[in-house]
Structure 1
Amino acid sequence: MDTEKKLSAIRELSKSLLSKLFLLNINSKYLILDPSVIKPLEKICGVKWLRSKGIEKIFKLEDIPPAFDSKAVYYIIYSNYAVFKHVIDQIRSTVDIENPPTNKFHIIVIPNITYLFEKELEEHGLYNSVVKLHSFQWLPIYIDMGILSLEFPFSFRSLFINQNVTYLPMFSKCLWQLLMVFGKINFILSLGQYSNAILSQYDMLCETRGSTEKLDSEIGGLIILDRNLDYPSTLLTPGIYSALLKEVYNVTAGYCESKPVESKAIIDKKFNPIINKNPVVINLDSEIDSVYATTKNKYFTEVTSVLSNFTKELKREKMNSKDMAIEEIKKYVKTQLGATSSRKKYISNHLIAAETIINVLGWKFESLCETEFNIISNTSKSSNFNFLIELTCTENSEVIPLRLFCLMLITQKLSDAEISTFWEKFLHQFGYKYGYVLQNLMNSGIISDNKALTTGTKLANIIMPRFNPNQFFSVAQRLKQIPPIKDKLDFKFPTCPSYVFRGTYIPLVTQIASMVLNSTPLEEIRTKLDGVASLIIRNDRAYPLQSRTLLILVVGGITYAEIGALNFIEALTGVKVIVLSDQIISGNDLMQDFLKKPNY
C-alpha cells in the first residue's frame, strides 16, 4: 500500500476507537452532535456506518433536546466547557432525580475531558451514575493529498493566547499513532517552545507505551514548528486559489460550503456595498474534484483562464456528441456522460466561487497587496500607515484593519503616536469593549514589549506596545524569505515558492523544509535558525534523508498558502511532503481568536 492510500486508510483506526465507545451500550441509541463536529466526523464515518453501530437517529445539538424515550443517548462534542454545560443542562432537564437511569447518557469529548467536566457532574450528582464521560481523539483526518488535520479549533487560542497546555498531549499522541503506522522516524527537527515539549511527550509515550517494531520508516524526516514563529504567513493576503477560498468562504475539514442568505440590505452602516457570497458546495479533495486538483495551487489570475478552457472543452464535447451514431451514443452514455456531468458541476461551482472571491475582495485588493509588499520590504511606512487608518475608518469588519496592524507591528517600527492613533480609532470604530485585544496580542508574541503612553494623550492610562522588528528581518534575510526581485516572477509558470504571496514572501516552514530536503549541512541549519527559537535536531544516522518522504507538523494551524508553497517544493525536488496540523487556518481565523474575550 502506498503512502497516500495509508493516509486515507487511517480513518479506519479512528472508526475502530469510536466503535468501542458505542459498544458500551449494546442497545439502539440516539446520537447528538455538536454542529462543529459534524463535518470532521463525516470525513471519518458515514451515516451507514453509524447505523451499523446501533445509532437509530442522529440529531444536531440545539437549545431544545429531542424526546429521548428509553433509548441510550450519546453526545459528541469538542472539549469546550460552555458546550459541555449546555449538554448537562439538557440532560438534567430530562432526568428523574428520584429514579435516575443507568448507562443511558454518554458524552464523548474530543480530544479529552478535563477536571472541570468531572467537577460539574459531581456537583450535580451525575458523575458515572447517570452520565459517563469518554475521551476520544480521532487520528489525523485525511483532508486532501498529503494533508492531515486533527480538526481541533481551539489549539491556537489555548496555546498561544491563554498559554494553556491542556491540549498539548493531543499532538504527541498523534505523532505516536503515526509512528505505529509508518515506522520510527530517525531524523527530527523541532523548533519552538511547544514543539520541543511535544517531542518530549512523544518520547515518554514511546517509553511507556512502546515503540514500533517497524524500524525502516516510510517517513524520512519530521519537522515540528510553532505557529508563532511565522505570523506573516497567516497575515499576508494569499494569491493562490485554495488559500483565497479559505479567506472568503467557511472551510471546515476540507469542505467549502456556503448556503443562500436572504438579505434586502445593499449597503452596511459605513455605506459599503454588501456582497452576498454565492452559494457553493466544494469538497477540497483533489481525488474527488479534478477541477480543484488542477486549480488549487494556481495563482488566482490563472484560475479563471483554466476554468474558461474547461468550459470550452465541455462545449466541444457536447457538439461532438450530436454527430454520434446510435452505438457511439450508447457507449458515450455508458462510459463518459456521468463523468462529464460531474465535471460540469465542479466547473460551475468553481466559477461561482471565483466570481465571489473577486466581488468580496473588491476594490481594496490591489491596494492591500501593494501595501503588504511595502510592509514586508520595509518601505513607504507613511503611506502604509495612512492606508491602515483608511481601512479602519471605512471597513465594517474589525478583522481586516487588525490583521494589517499586526503585520505592521511585526515588520515596521511604529512610533507611540502612530500606535496610539490607530488604537484610538480602532476602539472608536468598533467599540471600547475590545480593550483586552492588546493583551491577547502580547500573549501571542505579536507584541513583544510594552510601556505606558506619555501623559497628554487620550489613551494615557492604556498600556501600549512597542515591537522591535529587527529580529524578523534578521531571520528573514538569513533564510532568504524575502525575494530580491518581485517583478520577474512568472505567475503562470512560477519558479519560486513566494508566488503564493505574489512574490512578496516565502513561508518559514518552506525554507526549513528546503534546507532539509536539499541536505544542507546540519551545522549550517543550526546557524541559520539561531535566534529564531529553541532548536532540537535529532539525527540517528538518517541524514541526508534515507526516505524521500517528509512529515511536517505545524502547531497552531497551517495555511493553504504554506501548503501550496510546500507543494511547489515537493514538485521541484520529487519528494513526498505530508502536512499535519490541528487545522487549516487563514489570518481571519487568528484575528477572530484575538478578538475573543480572555478565558473564552
Structure 2
Amino acid sequence: MAGLGPDMSALILLSRENLIGCLNKIPGRKQLVLEPELTRPLDRIAGMSTLSKTGVESVIKLERGPVPPMQPNLSRVYFISANLIQAKYVADQISSQIVGESVLSPIHLVLVPRKLTSIENLFEEEGISGFVTMHQFSWEFIPLDFDLLSLELPSFFRNQFLGQDHSGLVSVARALWGIQSIYGDIPNLFAHGKSVKKLLNLVNVFSLQYGQPRTKQADIGYIYIFERDIDYASCLLSPLTYEGLLDEVFGISCGTVEFPKEVTGTDTTTKLQLSSKDKMFEKIRNKHFATIFSVLGVTAKQLSAAQAAASSMNINEMKSFVQNDLKHMKTQSKAVALHIGASERIQKLKGRMLETQLPVEHTIISAENIRDSITYIEERMAQLVPANISLRLICLLSYCSDGLTQNDYTRLKTQYIQAYGFHHIITWSNLTNLGLIKIKGGELGKIGVVSQVAGLVGAQNKTTGFQGLVRKLGLVSSSENLSLSDPNTPGYVFNGAYTPVACKVVQELIKAVSLTGKTGAAGAKTSFSGTSLVTEALKFSPGETIIDMKSPGAPKLGLVLFVGGYTMAEVAAFRWLQAATGWELIIAGTGNISANHIISQCEKL
C-alpha cells in the first residue's frame, strides 16, 4: 500500500499469523464452514493458499437448515460471528450430527471476535457442549486502503448504542493495542464520548497483560477518538461525494461494492474493491458528484484519443504500445465505463429526489422553517417514497432541533406507521431509545401541558444540544462561495451546508499544535488542552473529553478512531483536511456506517 505514513499492511501480517495459530490448534484436515458475512474480511487477511497450509481442504457457506455434506476424515470447523443467532444455527446442525453418544467427526467452533459466556450457556442448554471445542479469533484493524482501517464489526453499533452492551469495546481496545504494539505508543491523545474512559482503561489492561510496545519511537504522533453519537447528523445527511453515494445506493462492505446488472450492462454483477490502487477510482472517489461526469468525460476522451493515435503508429511504436500501454488502456476503459454506469444509476435513483431534498436537509441543519420541513416530510410519506428516506428526515429533524414537540411527534409517528406498516412500531421505538427521535423536554414531554411549555422553551433557547455545538464550532456556513471542483472547506461533502464534527475538531486541534510549535515546547500542554473552542463546544455533546498531551514534537500523523463507525462523507472530509494542512491522517473505525445501516439495525427486535 502506498502512502506517506507507516505501512499498514503489517496489520494484515499480524492478523494472518494469529489466524494460522488459531487453526493450527485444531489437528488434522479440516472443512471450514464459514458465515457469509465473514467472507470478505477473511479474504483480506488470508487466501485459500494460507488456509491450505493449516489443513483446510474445503470452505463452504454456513446456511440455516440441513447440515452440509461431510467428507470423511475431516474435522468440521464452524467460523462464525459471536452472536446468539449464528450460534443457534450451528447448534441445530451439530444436534443433527450426534449419533448415540458421539458425533460423526470432530467439531470445532471459532468465534469472532471472542468467546461469549452466553454462547457457551446456549450450547449447554442444547446438550451439545460436550461435542464441540470452542476457540476464538480476533483480527487486527483491516487496512482497506493506506489511510483507512476497519474492524468490520457490523453489529457493534447496535450493541453499543442501542443495546447498551459495551462488551465490544474489548475488541476495539485489543485492536488499538495491536496498532501500538507495531507502530509504537501514541504519545498525544484526544478522546470524547461516554465510553472512551472505559476504552482507554481496557487498552491499559492489554498493555499490562501482553506488554508495552517494543519500539520506543512512535510512528503515529496523535490519536483522536470519537464515539459515533457525537455526530449523527453526518450519518443522516445525504452524502454528495462519489464514494459516499456508492455506499448510499449500492452499499459498501469491507471496502468492496457490488454493481448490479443495470450498471455493468451484462447478465452478471461485478464486485469492485475500492482503494487507491485503482487509479481511476482514486481520481474520483472524493469528488463532489456534480463534477463526476465531467471528470469521467475528460478521461474517456483522452483514452479515445490515445486509441486513435495507435492507428497511425509504425511497427516499432505499435510493438511498444502493445507491450507497455495497451493493457493499461483496456483496464482504464473498463473502469471508466463501469463508473459511468454507476453514476448514471445514482443519477436515476437519486437525482430528482436530491434536488428537492437537499434544501430541506440544509434548512433542518440550520433549525430554520421547521413547519415547512415537517410539511415536506408529510408529503414524502403521502407519496410513499422508500421508508428509510422519510424516516431519516424525521430523525434529522428531531436530532437537529433537540427533539420534536409532542404534537409533531405524535402526528409524524402516526402518519409514518400508517404509510409503511405497523411493524415499523419496532423501528420507531428503537430510534427513540437511541435518541434519534425524541420529544422536547425528554420524559416530561409525555405530559401534554408540560410538553407545550418544553416546546416553547426549546424554541427560544437555541444554544442547547446540537445547535449549541453547531454555533460554537461554526459547523454551518454559507455555501455561496463554495467551489465543487476545487473545494475550500471540508463541508463540501454536504454541499457546504455542514462540516462533520470530528473533522472540525481535528482541524482546530491541528491549529493548536501549530501554534504550540511557534511558542515552543514549554507551553505545549497548556496550548493543546486550553483550546477552549473545542472543549467548550463539546460540552453540548454526550460524553466527556479526555486530553493527554505528552510530546508536542511528535510526527504530524494522526489516527482518527470512530467508535461506532465512520461515514464515507467523513472519510472524504478528512482527506480534504490532509491536503489542506499537510498532515497525514489515518481513519479507523468499527466499520463504515450510514443512515441506511442505522435504520436497518433498528428494524430488528
Residues 394-442 of structure 1 deviation map (CA, whole Å, 9 limit, x = unaligned): 2353211110001100123633222211110111112222223343223
RMSD: 2.3
- Say if 1:2 and 1:381 are closer, same or farther in 2 by CA, change over 3 A: closer
Contact 1:187 1:220 in 2 (8 A): yes
Matches within 5 A, 1:91-170: 91-100=94-103, 104-127=106-129, 129-170=130-171
C-alpha distance in 2 between matches for 1:173 and 1:163: 20
Question: CA contact under 8 A between 1:186 and 1:538: conserved in structure 2?
Answer: no
1:322 maps onto 2:330 in alignment: no
After TM superposition, give the deviation of residue 218 of structure 1 in Å: 0.7
What is the CA–CA distance in structure 1 between the aligned matches of 2:188 and 2:390, rounded to whole Å? 41
1:476-518 CA-partner distances (Å, limit 9, x unpaired): 11111111x2111011111011000001100011011112212
1:84-141 deviations in Å (ceiling 9; x for gaps): 1101211221232333357x211111111211211122233432x4211111110111
For 2:474, which of 471, 475, 480 is the aligned residue?
480
Q: AA paired with 1:195?
A: V
Where structure 2 has 5 or more consecutive residues not aligned to the other structure, the ranges are 450-457, 514-526
User: For the Cα contact (< 8 Å) 1:557–1:581, is it kept in 2?
Assistant: yes
Letter matched to residue 107 of structure 1: L
* Cα distance between partner residues in 2 of 1:588 and 1:49: 35
Is contact 1:190-1:199 (8 Å) kept?
no
| Partner residue in 1 for 2:283 | 294
Give 1:390's aligned residue: 379
Tell me which moved more, 434-443 or 7-16: 434-443
Q: Which letter does structure 2 place at the counterpart of 1:417? A: N
Check whether the contact 1:228–1:445 (CA below 8 A) recurs between aligned residues.
no
C-alpha spacing 1:2/1:233, structure 2 compared with 1 (3 Å): closer
CA contact (8 A) 1:280 1:352 kept: no
| Counterpart check, 1:354 vs 2:348 | no
Structure (1 or 2) with the greater helix fraction: 2
- The equivalent residue for 2:29 is 28
Question: 8 Å contact 2:236–2:392 — kept in the other structure?
Answer: yes
State yes or no: 1:566 paired with 2:560. Answer: no
Give yes or no for contact 2:288–2:484 (8 Å, CA) kept in 1: yes
Q: Give the unaligned 5+ runs of structure 1.
A: 263-275, 457-465
Pair 1:512–1:452, CA change in 2 (3 A):
closer
Which stretch of structure 1 is more off in the superposition, 446-455 or 232-241?
446-455
Tell me the residue number matched to 1:428.
Answer: 418
- 1:90 paired to 2:99: no
For 1:299 and 1:204, how far apart are their aligned partners in 2? 43
User: How far did residue 585 of structure 1 move?
Assistant: 1.4
Change (3 A) 1:139 1:347: same
1:258 paired residue number: 259
2:598 is matched by which residue type in structure 1?
Answer: L
The equivalent of 1:495 in structure 2 is: 488
Q: CA deviation at 1:290?
A: 0.7
Q: Which residue of 2 aligns with 1:577?
A: 585
Is the Cα contact below 8 Å between 2:190 and 2:547 reproduced in 1? Answer: yes
Work out the CA distance in 2 between the residues paired with 1:379 and 1:161: 29
CA distance in 1, matches of 2:267, 2:393: 23
Whether the 8 Å CA contact 1:321–1:329 is kept in 2: the answer is yes
Alignment correspondent of 1:513: 506
Return the match for 1:523 from 517, 525, 530.
530
1:386-465 superposed matches below 5 A: 386-412=375-401, 414-447=404-437, 449-451=442-444
Q: Does structure 1 retain, via aligned residues, the 8 Å contact 2:475–2:501?
A: yes
Question: Can you list the C-alpha shifts for 1:238-276, whole angstroms capped at 9, x where unaligned?
Answer: 1111101000002100100034489xxxxxxxxxxxxx9
Q: Within the alignment, does 1:344 sit opposite 2:345 as a pair? A: no
1:318 is paired with a residue whose SS is: helix
**Alpha carbons of 1:124 and 1:446: their partners in 2 closer, same or farther (altered >3 Å)?**
closer
Give the secondary structure class of the aligned counterpart of 2:512: coil
Contact 2:157 2:565 in 1 (8 A): yes
Is this contact kept in 2: 1:29–1:73, CA < 8 A?
A: yes
TM-score (norm 2): 0.90
Contact residue 153 and residue 590 of structure 2 kept, 8 A:
yes
Q: Is the CA contact (8 Å cut-off) linking 2:147 and 2:587 kept in structure 1?
A: yes
Q: Distance in 1 between matches of 2:267 and 2:293?
A: 18
Question: Any conservation in 2 of the 1:255–1:284 contact (CA below 8 Å)?
Answer: yes
Question: Aligned partners of 1:536 and 1:418: how far apart in 2?
Answer: 34
Q: Give the corresponding residue for 1:266.
A: none
- Matched-pair contact (CA < 8 Å) for 2:182–2:214: no
Alpha carbons 1:551, 1:577 under 8 Å: kept: yes
The 1-side partners of 2:103 and 2:62 are apart by 22
The residue number in structure 2 matching 1:596 is 604
Distance, in Å, in 2 between the alignment partners of 1:454 and 1:539 is: 44
